[in-house]
Chain A
Amino acid sequence: MKKEGKKAPVAQKKQSFGVYMKRYWQLYVLLALPMLYLLIFKYVPMIYIQIAFKKYSIVQSVWEMPLAANHGFEYFIKAFKNRDFINALRNTLVLNLLDLVLGFPVPIIFALVLNELVFKRFKRVVQTIAYMPHFLSWVIIYGLALQIFAPSTGFLNMILTGLGFESIPFLNDSAHWVGTYIFLGIWQSFGWNSIVYLAAIAGINSELYEAASVDGAGRFKKMWHITLPGIKPTIVVLLVMNLGNILGSSFDRPFALQNNLVMDSAEVLATFVYKNGIKGLQFSLTTAVGFFQSIVCVIFLLLANWISRKLGERGIW
């Protein structure tokens, strides 16, 4: 079996591309559109990554711009001497790690729990409600958060003060803010993220559960020995992808949620780049930061993938 399997691709390779093209041209044409999209919107803009190594000018084309000092690494040096950058780097790492540690298991648990629900209609209602926050923009979520968490006018704090407690600075104290940030992030995304796990659970062979029942396994045993192993590949793939994004950050979430009082822990790389690059016109510096960010992300991705393969999982490629 194995030998044959190996042989087949070799034989296929021998056939020329032209033959394939002739036979499956419709498929290639279909493929062309997404390829074109990638080329135009993902690869062509990459030409401008060289801004990181050049002295930016709004009037020159990117090829004409002169190389920055220190063999082009001027702006990387500048970035690492910039306390704001170091601060943003730290915040990005901390917030993303917290997101990962606290936020990653939530959709899995949710999917497991949902899967145990017998009453189908209730399950569907819960699921839909859980998805909903995903479709809210972060600006709206911040608006809601202000209504609920603001120190004097927030609904929650008004109840607390009404009961004679001190109001809790959910949004205006750094440590509390981090908690609020993580909480809102989980609240917004866990329902949506659970879809993948639910799909994976649906793909598990139901005979396994029947067999387990016959063997006398209870709910938790089934969950532990069948469901979890069944969705393990999915979990690993998503974990690897999440790890790859450990230094990446979305812009709208921190930007919408941050305020001047918590800037020391709320400024992340994406907002740093926005403030210094788009607002401050330091395009070279912020491209350097973005470039650095991407490289670290790729390294993490490769590392996580390698580890998962070492541990016997499939990884993402």
Chain B
Amino acid sequence: MKKRLLSVLLTGCMVLSLVACGSDDGGSTAQDSSGTQTTQQDTSAAQDTTEKSDASGDEAAADPTNGELVDGKFAETRKITVEVYDRGNDDGSDPTNNNYTKYIKEQMLAQHNVEVEFVAVPRWTEVEQINNLLAAGDAPDICLTYDYPTVQTYANMGGVLDLSSYVDDYRDLLPNLWNWLGETNIYWDKDPVDGTLWAIEGKRAVTNRINTFVRKDWLDKLGLKEPTTRQEFEDMIIAFRDNADLLLGADADKMIPYSVSFDVGWRAALLIESFIDPDVSDYEYYVNGFDDRALTQNGTKEAIRVLNKWYNDGLLWDDFALYSSGDSTEDDMIKAGYVGAFMHNWDYPYRDGENSIQTNLQRMVGPDAKFVVVDCFEDIKGGHNKFITSSAGDRKIFFPTTNTEPLASMLYLDFISSPEVIQYLQIGEEGVTHNKLEDGTIEIQAATGDDIQNSGFNIDYTITCNGLHLVDDELTLKSMAYSYSGIDPELVEVAHKVCNTDTRPAKNVNVGAIAAEEGQGPTLASKRDVVYDTAVSASVEDFDKVWDAGIADYLSSGGQAIMDERAEKWKATFGDTTALPE
């Protein structure tokens, strides 16, 4: 009897699990097929609109949406999903559900009758994560990435919607988007040959890039001046090393005069760039410029030789290569006050309010401790050649082919580009996240709970805008220095000024898709880091050998093919000239 009961029970379980599996399966197939269907419909709809606007000209252009919108609103509620970076901050708010996402959701529903849902993607593994989502057909309707070759790869597989017809046909519906990004950023990635547009470039409101930070209190203690040349910088870090006992006392063995991470190309960028000829031609800079850390530019090797010497002289952090991206060990050491100098994003130690490096440093070391910006890496012409970024080159926004709501998605981009929305998301509510000074300057306050901004100025939500951008331009400039809660505005002003001295803005070289770059982004980037890391930590005698072997490996793994194709396509587009047409 017992046995029978047991078997009946087990059979019951089996049947249940079978049913569950079956329905699961059925569900996913249904979803799949509907996905493909809608995509097909979608493309045909897009074709329809283009055909129509071609055929009947003005009439169709008046209403490219075929009456889908009434007063900018859909008759029926539409639903879109939007990617948002999850930075995993210690005390952050939920990136998919906080007071800012609530604001966005409410506004989108009210303005366009579109329901918005956020999909969190880890910031430090964004490319991998998006790859997985795309391959599974689950990618958000609005995707973003910093890596254009990745978008190109998806596009070549047919996984990305061509945005060219949407931005043009819906132009009248997207005033904010066009006003903010302009033709420069919208058409930045448009293929000059076939006119396809796989991604729209978000815009940098601030094109500041990198600064060198040194411990001002240490300089004062040792009676040193802020360095203005590379030699003085070297003398300074040597002085830090030799006076570790004075500067750190019992922690002297933890002294790191100058800290770089595994990402040498970024964390020594100003040193590297100072070795690149300031008069380098657009052609040469472009052909050698696939790697965004300047690995293959002429001059980089000599810069790394300097770092290699410093490493062997005990001036760098011995363990720099052992910690990978997203690891906070180095930041923690800087906060604890063991680090004398470092290079990073132009405002790095001032970011993150209560959690910023500067605030932590003062808390742990004392009120005098601070990082100031210096400008000390002179180039061969005596200037301080800095390659600042262009307004583009920030995040690229693209729609995967699983996006069945391109119009609603475009409206979202328009919404998120409107000056008022950007301003609200960046500075939040008065009294909660900011105060107004007498002259109207906005001063950012540290927020708590659901008002915490996980990224500076909420750039993770203002996907078309990176950097402070208030409705009033003048106010923006004044407020920038006050936008770092708990930080002396003067420090920020200096940082802003220094990284805008002697700059060379990046130019857009668009000669069409480079086939050799396809799928190479992440692979070559990790190779690049290996070359940099092994070269920096080689012995001085081995430096040439290690560097040359690393570069040879990089080039033969696809780097050379990219250079060759870039050179060839440049010639095809611009001819023999080595300068971009103005």
Contact = CB atoms under 8 A, between A and B. Distances in A.
Contacts of A153: 254, 318-319
A82 B520 CA distance: 13
B448 interface: no
Interface stretch (B151-159, B370-378, B471-479, B503-511): B151-159
Interface in A242-261: 259-261
A83 interface: yes
B132 to A, nearest CB: 7
Contacts of A32: 14
B7 A281 contact: no
A261 B21 contact: no
Interface residues of B, number: 46
B17 A275 contact: no
B111 interface: no
A99 interface: no
A30 interface: yes
A136 interface: no
B530 interface: yes
B10 A26 contact: yes
Interface in B538-557: 553, 556-557
A235 interface: no
A259 B128 CA distance: 19
B10 A29 contact: yes
A59 interface: yes
B157 A58 contact: yes
Interface in B507-533: 519-523, 526, 529-530, 532-533
- Greatest chain B CB density within 10 A among A59, A146, A261, A278 is at A59
- Greatest chain B CB density within 10 A among A32, A57, A171, A261 is at A261
B311 to A, nearest CB: 12
Interface in A106-141: none
- Greatest chain A CB density within 10 A among B132, B253, B519, B557 is at B519
B19 interface: no
Interface string B457-499: 0000000000000000000000000000000000000000000
Contacts of A60: 158
Contacts of B537: 172, 261
B18 interface: yes
Contacts of B526: 260, 275, 279
A82 B557 CA distance: 8
A299 interface: no
Contacts of B159: 57-59
Given A36-B18, A84-B557, A261-B534, A57 B157 contact: yes
A281 B66 CA distance: 38
Interface in B1-45: 7, 10-11, 14, 17-18, 21, 39
Interface in A62-116: 82-84
A11 B533 CA distance: 71
A206 interface: no
Interface in A124-175: 146, 150-153, 158, 171-172
Contact of B321 (A40, A59, A158, A172): A172
A278 B522 CA distance: 10
B520 A280 contact: yes
A276 B153 CA distance: 13
A280 B519 contact: yes
Contact of B10 (A30, A259, A281): A30
B262 interface: yes
A50 interface: no
Contacts of B10: 26, 29-30
A227 to B, nearest CB: 40
A276 B522 CA distance: 8
A282 interface: yes
Contacts, number: 101
B321 A33 contact: no
Given A33-B14, A279-B128, A260 B533 contact: yes
B422 to A, nearest CB: 32
Contact of A279 (B11, B523, B557): B523
Given A58-B159, A146-B322, A261-B533, A281 B519 contact: yes
Contacts of A82: 557
A83 B21 contact: no
Contact of A259 (B18, B153, B322): B322
Interface string B100-120: 000000000000000000000
Contacts of B134: 58
Nearest to B136: A58
Interface string A31-56: 01100100010000000000000001
Interface in B321-338: 321-324
A261 B154 contact: no
B43 to A, nearest CB: 11
A195 interface: no
A263 interface: yes
Interface in B272-315: none
B400 to A, nearest CB: 9
Interface in B199-252: none
A255 to B, nearest CB: 10
A26 B134 CA distance: 43
B14 A278 contact: no
Interface in B112-157: 127-128, 131-132, 134-135, 150, 153-154, 157
Contacts of A281: 131, 150, 153-154, 519
Given A36-B21, A152-B318, A57 B553 contact: no
Contacts of B319: 146, 150-153, 172
A153 B323 CA distance: 12
B462 to A, nearest CB: 27
B401 interface: yes
Contacts of B132: 278
Nearest to A55: B157
A26 B9 CA distance: 11
Given A32-B14, A40-B21, A172-B321, A282 B157 contact: no
A276 B533 CA distance: 20
B226 to A, nearest CB: 27
- Greatest chain B CB density within 10 A among A60, A158, A263 is at A263
A268 B319 CA distance: 23
A153 B322 CA distance: 11
A58 B154 contact: yes
- Greatest chain A CB density within 10 A among B7, B132, B153, B319 is at B319
A166 B322 CA distance: 19
Contacts of B262: 259-260
A150 B146 CA distance: 32
Contacts of B556: 83
Nearest to B6: A26
- Greatest chain A CB density within 10 A among B153, B318, B324 is at B318
Contacts of B318: 150-153
A74 B556 CA distance: 19
Contacts of B127: 279
B66 to A, nearest CB: 26
- Greatest chain A CB density within 10 A among B157, B159, B532 is at B157
Given A29-B10, A275-B523, A259 B157 contact: no
9 contacts: A57-B158, A59-B157, A83-B553, A152-B317, A259-B533, A275-B523, A280-B521, A280-B522, A283-B135
Interface of A: 26, 29-30, 32-33, 36, 40, 56-60, 82-84, 146, 150-153, 158, 171-172, 259-261, 263, 275-276, 278-283
Given A26-B7, A36-B17, 13 more contacts: A29-B7, A57-B159, A58-B134, A83-B553, A84-B557, A151-B319, A153-B318, A172-B319, A279-B127, A279-B526, A280-B521, A280-B522, A282-B519
Interface of B: 7, 10-11, 14, 17-18, 21, 39, 127-128, 131-132, 134-135, 150, 153-154, 157-159, 253-254, 262, 317-319, 321-324, 401, 519-523, 526, 529-530, 532-534, 537, 553, 556-557
Q: Which 8 A-B pairs have the closest CB atoms?
A: A152-B318, A260-B533, A279-B522, A26-B7, A57-B157, A58-B159, A280-B523, A59-B158
